[in-house]
Amino acid sequence: MREQAAAIRDRELSPVDLTEHYLNRVDRLGDDVGAFVTVTAEIAREQAKAAEKAVGQGETAPLLGVPVPIKDLNMVKDVPMTLGSAAFDDFQGFADDHVVTRLREAGTILLGKTNTPEFGLPCYTENSVAPPARTPWDLSRSAGGSSGGAAAAVAAGLAPIAQGSDGGGSIRIPASVCGLFGIKPTRGRVSHGPIVPDLAGLATNGPIARNVRDAALFLDLIAGSVPGDMYHAAPQDGTFLAAADREPGRLRIGRSVASVVPGAEVHPDCLAAYEAATELLTELGHEVEELDMPFDADLVPHFETLWAAMATLTPVAPEREERLRPLTRHLRERGNAVTAPQLFMAQASLQLAVRLAMPVAGRYDVILHPTLAQPPVPVGYFEDVDPAENFERQKRFTPFTSIYNVTGQPAVSVPLHWTADGLPIGVMLVGRMSDENTLISLSAQLEAARPWADRHPPIWD
Determine the Cα–Cα distance for residues 169 and 371; give it in Å rounded to an integer. Answer: 9
Determine the Cα–Cα distance for residues 47 and 54; give it in Å rounded to an integer. Answer: 10
End-to-end Cα distance, the chain: 19
Q: Is 251 helix (H, G, I), strand (E, B) or coil?
A: coil
Q: Quick check: is 71 catalytic?
A: yes
Quote the pLDDT of residue 115: 98
- Residue 71 vs residues 10, 146, 177, 216, 226: alpha-carbon distances, Å: 30, 9, 18, 19, 21
Determine the Cα–Cα distance for residues 325 and 81; give it in Å rounded to an integer. Answer: 17
Q: Examine the pLDDT at 81 and tell me if it is beyond 80.
A: yes
238-248 average pLDDT score? 98
Q: Examine the pLDDT at 461 and tell me if it is beyond 80.
A: no
289-309 average pLDDT score? 95
Q: Quick check: is 184 catalytic?
A: no
Reported as a single tens digit per residue, the pLDDT across 351-367 is: 999 999 999 999 999 99
Determine the Cα–Cα distance for residues 137 and 178; give it in Å rounded to an integer. Answer: 7
Please say whether the dihedral angle defined by the alpha carbons of residues 56, 60, 66 and 71, taken in this order, is positive or negative: negative
Residue 104: which domain range? 2-460
Band of the pLDDT at 198, cuts 50, 70, 90? confident
Compute the C-alpha angle 42/43/45, nearest 5°: 65
Band of the pLDDT at 179, cuts 50, 70, 90? very high
Band of the pLDDT at 197, cuts 50, 70, 90? confident
Quote the pLDDT of residue 208: 99
Determine the Cα–Cα distance for residues 208 and 135; give it in Å rounded to an integer. Answer: 14
Determine the Cα–Cα distance for residues 174 and 181; give it in Å rounded to an integer. Answer: 10
From the list 146, 259, 402, 434, the catalytic residue is 146
Q: Is 209 helix (H, G, I), strand (E, B) or coil?
A: strand
Q: Examine the pLDDT at 460 and tell me if it is beyond 90.
A: no
Determine the Cα–Cα distance for residues 230 and 253; give it in Å rounded to an integer. Answer: 31
Reported as a single tens digit per residue, the pLDDT across 98-112 is: 999 999 999 999 999
- The Cβ of residue 45 has, within 10 Å, a number of other Cβ atoms equal to 16
Compute the C-alpha angle 10/13/18, nearest 5°: 145
Quote the pLDDT of residue 196: 87
- CA within 13 Å, CB half, 457: 26
179-188 average pLDDT score? 98
Q: Examine the pLDDT at 131 and tell me if it is beyond 80.
A: yes
Residue 421 φ then ψ, to 5°: -90, 5
Band of the pLDDT at 271, cuts 50, 70, 90? very high
Band of the pLDDT at 343, cuts 50, 70, 90? very high
422-441 average pLDDT score? 98
Q: Is 60 exposed, middle or buried, given 0-12, 13-18 or 19+ CB atoms closer than 10 A?
A: exposed
Q: What percent of the chain is modeled with pLDDT above 90?
A: 98
Q: Quick check: is 146 catalytic?
A: yes
Q: Examine the pLDDT at 174 and tell me if it is beyond 80.
A: yes
From the list 170, 176, 441, 443, the catalytic residue is 170
pTM: 0.98
Q: What is the CATH number of the domain that holds 77?
A: 3.90.1300.10
The amino acid at 374: Q
Quote the pLDDT of residue 322: 96
E strands, 137-201, in order: 161-166, 181-184
Determine the Cα–Cα distance for residues 383 and 58; give it in Å rounded to an integer. Answer: 52
Determine the Cα–Cα distance for residues 378 and 138; give it in Å rounded to an integer. Answer: 9
Band of the pLDDT at 292, cuts 50, 70, 90? very high
Q: Pick from 209, 206, 204: which is nearest to 179 by CA?
A: 209
Q: SS3 letters for 92-135?
A: ECCCCCHHHHHHHHCCCECCEEECCCHHHCCCCCCCCCCCCCEC
Q: Pick from 187, 140, 180: which is nearest to 427 by CA?
A: 180
Domains held by the chain: number: 1
Burial letters 396-428, b for 16+ CB under 10 A, else e: bbbbbbbbbbbbbbbbbbbbbbbbeeebbbbbb
The per-residue pLDDT of the chain, averaged, comes to: 97
β-sheet bridge partners, residue 356: none
